[in-house]
């Protein structure tokens, strides 16, 4: 079976015990970036990159959590300066619309992503963490649980652009030596959205809570063994469109949330008790008791 990760063969790729990592966050004013900045600023020294046309109030909040800088990821020279002295780049900036056409994804999602990886190489960064998406595999039928080793199968051009980023990340890691980890992020929503019955149904098998995704990002920043990996970023939902076992095993991801427990209406159904799991282990136990 093909593997969706590779490990460093010799010694760890850095010695983190003696210093705080410096992390550059692109798209820092977005939902994921702003949450990460607020909750991880004590753990890392943050350089928070904004485009300049985001909500002014949201941008001002970032000043409390790290160094705020304005720049355009479509400018390679600008990105190279932004990456100077950085350990890890958390690349979140993108046009996230599933309805985006080619022109909508070309500048930011394609050219901008190339610039981020190239700038990180030029600047001697240790790692890039690339925010991919469930849309990279959304072309699979809804009843298929997708593993990280399955071929990409995008359902829209936004997903196509994320497949490009994953391929670029693997090339950069395997051929250029820049460690890269891709996170296929599901429906990133706060608890209040998960408690909305109408919204909850639409993301029943794809939800990832804010704190779970933030935990996964931190574990990927801190890892010292991986050269390349793709991880699926979902919470510990009772129903999972994406398999998260790789992230559990390789970086110790331990998601705490489950949409069927967060949403009051779903919680009253007691799905954890009524919907039984069925695995080879279950079958072996059953045979032993017959």
Domains and CATH numbers, the chain: 5-289 (3.40.50.720)
- pLDDT bucket at 274, cuts 50 / 70 / 90: low
Q: Count CB neighbours of 232 within 10 A.
A: 29
- Rounded average pLDDT over 255-260: 94
Residue that wins the pLDDT comparison between 153 and 8: 153
| CA separation for the pair 50, 30 (Å, rounded) | 9
Which among 152, 156, 167 has a CA at the least distance from the CA of 101?
156
DSSP string across the chain: ---SEEE-SSS-S--GGGSPPEEEEETTTSHHHHHHHHHHTTTSEEEEEE-S-S-HHHHHHHTTTSEEEE--TT-HHHHHHHTTT-SEEEE------TT--HHHHIIIIIIIHHHHHHHHHHHT-SEEEEEEEGGGSTTS-TT-PBPTTSPP--SSHHHHHHHHHHHHHHHHHHHH--EEEEEEE-EE--HHHHTSHHHHHHTTTTEE-HHHHHHHHHHHHH-SSEEEEEEEE----SS-SB--HHHHHHH-------HHHHSHHHHTTTHHHHS----HHHHHHHHHH-
- Rounded average pLDDT over 2-20: 67
Tell me if 46 sits within 8 A of 40, measured CB to CB: yes
| pTM for the model | 0.89
Which among 199, 197, 217, 206 has a CA at the least distance from the CA of 266?
197
- pLDDT bucket at 13, cuts 50 / 70 / 90: low
- Identify the pLDDT of residue 167: 98
Residue-wise pLDDT tens digits, 27-56: 999 999 999 999 999 999 999 999 877 666
- Identify the pLDDT of residue 264: 86
Residue that wins the pLDDT comparison between 104 and 287: 104
- C-alpha pair distances (Å), 263 with each of 37, 211, 215, 244, 276: 26, 16, 21, 21, 19
Highest mean pLDDT among 7-11, 71-75, 201-205: 71-75
Lowest mean pLDDT segment, chosen from 73-77, 162-166, 260-264: 260-264
- Identify the pLDDT of residue 275: 62
pLDDT at 281 over 80: no
pLDDT at 22 over 80: yes
pLDDT at 279 over 70: no
- Identify the pLDDT of residue 10: 56
pLDDT at 15 over 60: no
pLDDT at 170 over 90: yes
């Amino acid at each position: 079976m093909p593997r969706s990760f590779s490990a460093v063969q010799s010694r760890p790729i850095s010695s983190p015990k003696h210093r705080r990592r410096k992390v550059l966050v692109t798209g820092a004013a977005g939902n994921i970036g702003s949450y990460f900045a607020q909750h991880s600023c004590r753990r890392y020294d943050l350089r928070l990159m904004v485009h300049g046309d985001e909500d002014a109030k949201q941008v001002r909040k970032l000043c409390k959590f790290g160094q705020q800088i304005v720049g355009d990821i479509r400018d390679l020279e600008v990105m190279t300066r932004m990456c100077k002295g950085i350990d890890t780049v958390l690349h979140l900036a993108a046009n996230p619309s599933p309805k985006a056409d080619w022109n909508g994804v070309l500048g930011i999602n394609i050219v901008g992503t190339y610039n981020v990886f190239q700038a990180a190489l030029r600047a001697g960064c240790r790692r890039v963490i690339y925010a991919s998406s469930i849309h990279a595999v959304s072309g699979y039928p809804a009843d298929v649980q997708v593993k990280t080793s399955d071929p990409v199968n995008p359902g829209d051009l936004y997903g196509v652009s994320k497949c490009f980023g994953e391929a670029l990340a693997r090339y950069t890691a395997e051929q250029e030596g820049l460690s890269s980890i891709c996170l296929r992020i599901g429906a990133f929503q706060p608890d209040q959205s998960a408690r909305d019955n109408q919204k909850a149904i639409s993301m029943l098998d794809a939800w990832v809570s804010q704190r779970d995704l933030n935990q996964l990002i931190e574990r990927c920043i801190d890892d010292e063994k991986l050269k390349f990996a793709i991880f699926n970023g979902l919470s510990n939902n009772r129903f999972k469109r994406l398999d998260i076992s790789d992230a559990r095993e390789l970086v110790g991801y331990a998601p705490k949330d489950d949409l069927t427990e967060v949403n009051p209406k779903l919680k009253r159904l007691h799905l954890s008790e009524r919907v039984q799991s069925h695995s080879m282990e279950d079958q072996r136990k059953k045979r032993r008791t017959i």
